[in-house]
Amino acid sequence: MINPDAHVYETIDGENFMSHQYLNTRDPIYECHQACSCDTACPNRVVEHGRTVPLQIFRTDDGRGWGVRSPQDIRKGQFVDRYVGELITAEETERRRQRSDIAAKKDVYLFELDKFKDDADRDPTLAETVFVDGEYASGPSRFINHSCDPNLRIFARVGDHATKRFHDLAFFAVRDIPADTELTFDYVDGEDEKLEEEKKNPNQKKEMTKCLCRSRKCRGYLW
């Protein structure tokens, strides 16, 4: 856990970037909002302003389908985009999982907004988490592929604390990314123990999807 007084963002050349200290964590981001005494120029408002980085969807040439890149350099700590989609209940999520003929892969478009679930004793509404499904209605970030050595990471972000149940999923660059480099994130960020266990079982291994990220740190499988 990082120092709670640490600033999430630092201003460099008039632009606000996530501090390197914060980038190494998986802590949620609390940005300023309407009820704060600051105005929209406050350096603690970044995701609120939306995407400024241009993104291109392109066809990969190695069987991974579509991918995403930017024609501009992206700097370490820069906000790239949010993951957006339909907000659905846990019941609807399960219904869609069952309905999907590629049920095992349906989860690749689903994110549970559970970052604040532990606060449910103070706010019981946080116990009933909702999901974001980016399969049918989304933005360019729905096309971002996985890498075991990614250049982006997702952070939970809220403004007003009353919106914790519907927190944002915000992608930030974890390193400098030269223009036209494919953007990637780790689909199982920090939770790869299950994958490592499944790899040891030959029957389960047969069902697993091979990872084509080609990084030196590749774990071999997506899931």
Task: Give catalytic residues, as residue numbers.
Answer: 83, 187
> Could you tell me the smallest distance in angstroms from the CB atom of residue 206 to ligand SAM?
17
- Closest residue to ligand SAM, based on beta-carbon distance: 65
| Side-chain-facing half-sphere of 53: CA atoms under 13 Å | 31
Q: Which residue from 23, 84, 108, 127 is in contact with ligand SAM, where contact means CB under 6 A?
A: 108
Which range in 9-17, 32-40, 73-81, 138-146 contacts ligand SAM by CB under 6 A? 138-146
Indicate the DSSP class of residue 158. E
Helix intervals (H) in the chain: 20-23, 90-99, 103-106, 193-200, 202-207
Rounded to whole angstroms, the maximal C-alpha distance in the chain is 58
Number of residues that bind ligand SAM (CB under 6 A): 15
Task: Compare residues 59 and 99 and give the one whose CB is closer to ligand SAM.
Answer: 59
Query: Judged by CB under 6 A, which stretch of 1-9, 117-125, 143-151, 200-208 contacts ligand SAM?
Result: 143-151
- Part of the chain binding ligand SAM (CB under 6 A), chosen from 83-91, 101-109, 123-131, 192-200: 101-109
Positive or negative: CA dihedral 152, 169, 190, 64 = negative
In eight-state DSSP terms, residue 202 is H
Q: Is 195 in the site for ligand SAM (CB under 6 A)?
A: no
Minimum CB separation of residue 65 from ligand SAM in Å reads 2
- For residues 42-63, b (16+ Cβ closer than 10 Å) or e, as one string? bbbbbbbeebebebeeeeeeee
Closest CA to 214 of 26, 24, 60: 60
Q: Is 143 in the site for ligand SAM (CB under 6 A)?
A: yes
Answer yes or no whether residue 65 interacts with ligand SAM by CB under 6 A. Answer: yes
Q: Is the Cβ of residue 130 or residue 188 nearer to ligand SAM in the bound state? A: 188
Binding-site member from 43, 75, 212, 219 for ligand SAM (CB under 6 A): 212
How many other C-beta atoms can be found within 10 angstroms of the C-beta atom of residue 108? 16
Which uninterrupted H or E stretch holds 88? strand 86-88
Read off the tokens for 99: 């309905």
CB nearer to ligand SAM: pick between 66 and 136:
66
* Residue 219 lies near ligand SAM (rule: CB under 6 A): no
Q: Would you tell me which residues interact with ligand SAM (CB under 6 A)?
A: 64-67, 105, 108-109, 142-143, 145-146, 211-213, 222
